[in-house]
Amino acid sequence: MSTYNDASLIYYPSGYKASKAYSLKPTDGSGDLTFTRASTATRVNESGLIEEVATGVPRIDYTGAGCAKLLLEPQRTNLITYSNEFSNPSWLKSSIVLDSNTLDTLSPQGLNNATKITSTTYPSLYNIISVSAQTQYTFSFYVKGGTLATPQLAIRDDSNGVFIVENILYATSIDEWTRIEYTVTTPIGCTSLRVYALRGTGSGTIFLYGAQVEQGSYSTSIINTSGTAVTRVADLASKSGISSLINSTEGVLYVEFNALADDRSSSGSYAISDGTTNNRFIISNSGGFDGGIASLGVVSGALVFNISSSGFNVKSFNKVALKYELNNTKLFVNGVLIGTDTSCPMPAPNTFNFLGSTNGTPAGGLRYGNTKGLMLFPNALSDAECIALTTL
């Protein structure tokens, strides 16, 4: 598409090093994203295997195969202290035999560090963790099918002696690993959870790997632990000092992205700004409601446009373009014009100099989720070009 020649900045996940994600354009490095994360983290590599990346290194992720994505996640802590050591005494068990580091199958890491579990009649494998009451937690683990026909998970409020959920049958595959995930809100007075990776009846075998309990409404990438809870610090990617690449009075901001979850609590944005909340144009995955994609603009502290629409699957990838110019701002999603504002002032020339988050502060990175592509255009494209740019 010749439109790409008109872009001032083009980012597609490819080259990177510690503290930097390389943009394809401009080629002199002035548009490269600045990246920080003060901890190690995991990703799925091109071979489909989970691997750990070093502190401060961007995660180019291939979960689900296909194209590369820049993975950005919030800070999370795995509260299970032995995430992959099911033979450790912290995992309580009955009516099962464990074969750690089994040779029968490779783990999601491609190593012999999965656990084979053989059940007799009433299998039970659980861990007890300290939590806060009236708080959301997500329990997850990887499973691969053997001969056990009815594996179940359960989550028990140990403080009050009642199950929050039980008899949750989960499906397994004999050919590939599946991540099982379940989110609960702890009841009043709950300070201890008992999480069962395996419970129920029946005999047979099953394979487990990588258990995790994290505070939040959805699961994030696996955080490996071996003796203590471990925190993965948030990913931050942004770029400051790029007034030469952003036209404040007209242009197009384009992104292809998905969200980590379809709820307002996980919403985030891509924004061009002056580094403050007073002047900013954003693309968001929420707009104040689930399943929404929205854009809003603030000039000199005043809201000047707000365009939104619902009904999108924000966990799937969407191509979104915000076209802005004086009294003619439009939002395009997946080849469709979803809204127009014909009464919107623009900032003064050379106002925008920062690519980052909703609040536009220097510490604000791009939105949490997966980014397949991001572009800035210094001139407003035609409607036909925006439709072509965002067509799936």
Q: Are residues 185 and 320 in the same domain?
A: no
pLDDT given at position 268 = 63
Residue with tokens 């009955």: 94
pTM over the 0.85 mark: yes
Residues 6+ apart with CB under 8 A from 226: 81, 82, 83, 84, 85
Q: Are residues 161 and 283 in the same domain?
A: no
Q: Of 214, 232, 250, which residue is a domain's last?
A: 232
Contact 228, 159 (CB under 8 A): no
Q: Of 178, 202, 232, which residue is a domain's last?
A: 232
Contact 105, 255 (CB under 8 A): no
* SS3 (DSSP) at 162: strand
Residues 6+ apart with CB under 8 A from 366: 33, 72, 237, 238, 268, 270, 355, 356, 357, 374
Q: Are residues 170 and 83 in the same domain?
A: yes
Residues 6+ apart with CB under 8 A from 218: 138, 181, 183, 260, 261, 266
Q: What is the pLDDT along the chain (392 residues), one digit of tens a residue?
A: 457 899 999 999 999 999 999 999 999 999 999 999 999 999 999 999 999 999 999 999 999 878 899 999 999 999 999 999 999 999 999 999 999 999 999 999 999 999 999 998 899 999 999 999 999 999 999 999 999 989 999 999 999 999 999 999 999 999 999 999 999 999 999 999 999 999 988 999 999 999 999 999 999 999 999 999 999 999 999 999 999 999 999 999 999 999 888 765 555 679 999 988 899 999 987 645 567 899 999 999 999 999 988 888 888 999 999 999 999 999 999 999 999 999 999 999 999 999 987 554 334 668 888 999 999 999 999 999 999 999 97
Q: Are residues 257 and 374 in the same domain?
A: yes
Residue with tokens 């004999």: 174
Range of the domain at 131: 78-232
Q: What are the backbone dihedrals phi and psi of residue 129, each rounded to the nearest 5 degrees, phi first? A: -130, 155
pLDDT given at position 284 = 86
Q: Are residues 226 and 364 in the same domain?
A: no
Provide the domain count of the chain. 2
Residue 364's nearest CA partner among 255, 251, 268 is 268
Q: Are residues 110 and 131 in the same domain?
A: yes
CA atoms lying within 13 Å on the CB side of residue 357: 16
pLDDT given at position 361 = 39
Q: Are residues 88 and 41 in the same domain?
A: no
In this structure, what CATH number is given to the domain that contains residue 199? 2.60.120.260
Pair type for strands 9-11 and 59-61: unpaired
Q: Are residues 114 and 253 in the same domain?
A: no
Q: Are residues 99 and 223 in the same domain?
A: yes
Residue with tokens 């992205």: 257
Q: Of 208, 232, 256, which residue is a domain's last?
A: 232
pLDDT given at position 228 = 98
Q: Are residues 182 and 303 in the same domain?
A: no
In this structure, what CATH number is given to the domain that contains residue 314? 2.60.120.200
Q: Are residues 286 and 225 in the same domain?
A: no
Q: Are residues 242 and 112 in the same domain?
A: no
Tokens describing residue 371: 């980014």
Cα separation, 358 vs 270, whole angstroms? 7
Cα separation, 171 vs 126, whole angstroms? 19
